[in-house]
Amino acid sequence: MTGRWDYAQQIGLLAVGVVLLMVQLGNTHLWDQDEGYYATAAAEMVARNDWITPTFNGKLFGHKPPMMYWGMMLGYHAFGVTELGARFCSSVFGILTILATYAMARRLFDAATGLFAGLAIGSCFLFATVARSATADAHLTFFTVVALFVWSRSYFSVPGATRDQRLAAIPWRVWLAAYAVMGLAVLTKGPIGFLFPTAVIGLFLLTEQPTVPPFGVSRLKRIARGLWPYSPVPFFKTVWKMRPLTAILAVSVVAAPWYLLVQWKTEGAFLREFIGVHHMGRFSSAMDNHSGPAYYYIVACLIGLYPWSAFAVPTVMTWVAQSKLASHSSAIRFVTCWVAVYLVIFSLASTKLPNYVLPAYPALAIIVGRYFATWSRDATSVNTFWLHAGWLLLIGVGVGLVCGLPALAWIEFQGQTVLGRLNVDPLIQRRLAWLGMAGLPLAVFGVLGWSFLCCKKTSWAAGAFVVAATSLIAILSQVVAPELDRLQSSQMLAENLKARIANEGAQVTILGHYRPTMVFYLGQEINFCDSPAEAIEKANANSNSVLITTESHYSQIEPYLQERNAVIERVAQFPGRDDLVVLGDPSLMR
């Protein structure tokens, strides 16, 4: 009976994953900038039939290793060079991550924790968004959770044993398999695919050593003995017990062939950009204005885990309380180390983006899943004040969205709406008003779930929350995103321009409007100019050219353009109000 229930849970999670991560996957244009870069790089690799060297706009693109591009290339072969083809493998890895998170939580705790953990990661805002995007983050998260699951499954299979006894019982093939999966992560996003999971295992093993000295010892000696497990001697002993030679062998066999090939083909240029700029550079200095305070990732995770983070306070309180129980203390330490490694290290980095810590989201989902599994069985086993506060917060956000956004967009004060006073375009105001409907499931099912909780029907209350969470993500991805997609003027301009250019050899130049997605939709290289003088030179030098610029730039360069560079089209730009102007010889257009 237990086996059938497990299969039912897995099938249910699979169904939720398909609905949330695959339905209408290709119904929106690519979003700038990451999707534009990566989908275009994969498209150029397909056009050249090159599975080794990524390029963007005809130039070497050393941002990411090939795993993501390979997935997109397979998607292009299956669905064409389309948004669906670019995003399909990311969605598949997102669904696999839901199932892997379920398996990990079930192994560490119980089936109920696994079920809620799988639902939590699949229906939280950031993961669902990323898994529907043409990026590498869903791939990396999947390989991270699988590597840690392979290792922890063997480590925790010997209950009641000491750390060293458990390590001795782990077969060599388990270490090899875990490190081989990390090798796939290295092919996905570079050295962090190996360094971070091994840091999680290493930190956890250090915490598994006895740290409590006997009674009667002075406070200074207590502190010294407490810190001893983290000193150099135990540290290097722990590292050796983690079989570093096996790690080098496994990762090298899996990842080294591609890195050697791309280095040879690019004469060393790829790693200079990939390691020097996108690893060392991003850690030491804030790139692309992506900086933030030390608490950046705490706020980012609260937003990214929404709506499950509505219960953040009681979740943390319950997790800390359960860590003191011997039955699950070791598993709780393992999951805590997992979260700590990613949040602490990335908090020290200068460049900060919410998706950097996405590989920690399965661990956060397990923490959330443990809390929901606990109170759904017995609400009195947790702090009921904070439990009710979480429900009221959920309801409040829902009501605020339903009532607040329409009010900001429709109610006028002294002849202007609030959004109007913020210089928001009237068209956007009307769309934002309808986006308030995303709060409807939070308000309706929040009230329903809280009513069940007050009636002590805790399992029904948990079910109501799951419906609220999944409905919210479905509305955001399948209703809100298509509405916002209509504002992507750059993508639609490039798409329409490609269909209208009569001469396929026409050159396209852009001044003052850098959107990587335009390369994807035009299907050709673009001259992105840094100065008006360069744009004027390119436009005047070639009669077979199209120039795209902004209204403000056009007023500067108009006197210097030849007569054949006439205004062909004007397009409203979102989010700014500086319209796009298309210039060229009308005879080039169909």
Predicted TM-score of the model (pTM): 0.93
Q: What are phi and psi of 501, to 5 degrees?
A: -70, 115
Q: Tokens 């502190």 map to which residue? A: 223
Whether 452 and 536 share a structural domain: no
Contact between residue 35 and residue 514 where contact means Cβ atoms under 8 Å apart: no
- For residues 332 and 339, what is the distance between their CA atoms, to the nearest angstrom? 11
The reply to whether 127 and 215 lie within a common domain is yes
Same domain as 500, residue 471 = no
Q: In total, how many domains does the chain have? A: 3
Domain end, chosen from 430, 457, 485, is at: 485
Residue 76's pLDDT is what?
97
User: Which one has a higher pLDDT value, 182 or 283?
Assistant: 182
**429 and 346 belong to one structural domain:** no
Cα–Cα distance measured from residue 121 to residue 20, given in angstroms and rounded to the nearest whole number: 11
Same domain, 429 and 568: no
Name the domain boundary from 346, 379, 412.
379
Q: What is the pLDDT of residues 14-36, one digit of tens each?
A: 999 999 999 999 999 999 889 99
**Residues 468, 499: one domain?**
no
Higher pLDDT, 211 or 232: 232
Weakest-pLDDT range from 419-423, 489-493, 531-535, 549-553:
419-423
Tens-digit pLDDT profile for residues 347-363: 998 888 899 999 999 99
**Which residue, 365, 362, 345, 35, is CA-closest to 191?**
345
pLDDT digits (tens, 9 = 90+) for 464-502: 999 999 999 999 999 889 988 888 889 999 988 888 786
Token duo for residue 384: 């009921």
Same domain, 249 and 288: yes
Residues 122 and 156 in one domain: yes
- Span 236-258, pLDDT tens digits: 899 999 999 999 999 999 999 99
Same domain, 417 and 524: no
Q: Mean pLDDT over residues 508-516, rounded? A: 91
Q: Which residue has the tokens 């029907």?
A: 457
What is the span of the domain harbouring residue 528?
489-588
Last residue of a domain, one of 433, 450, 485: 485
Question: Which pLDDT value is given to residue 287?
Answer: 59
Q: Decide if 134 contacts 183 (C-beta within 8 A).
A: no
Q: How far apart are CA 113 and CA 297, in angstroms?
A: 24
Residues 363 and 415 reside in one and the same domain:
no
Q: Are residues 235 and 166 in the same domain?
A: yes
* pLDDT tens by residue, 106-165: 999 999 999 999 999 999 999 999 999 999 999 999 999 999 999 999 999 988 788 889
148, 47 Cβ separation under 8 angstroms:
no
d(CA 143, CA 387): 34
Q: What is the CA radius of gyration of the chain?
A: 27
CATH number of the domain bearing residue 575: 3.40.190
The CA-based diameter of the chain, rounded to the nearest angstrom, is: 93
- Could you write out the three-class secondary structure of 485-546? HCCCHHHHHHHHHHHHECCCCCEEEEECCCCCHHHHHHCCCEEEECCHHHHHHHHHHCCCEE
Q: Are residues 122 and 162 both part of a single domain? A: yes
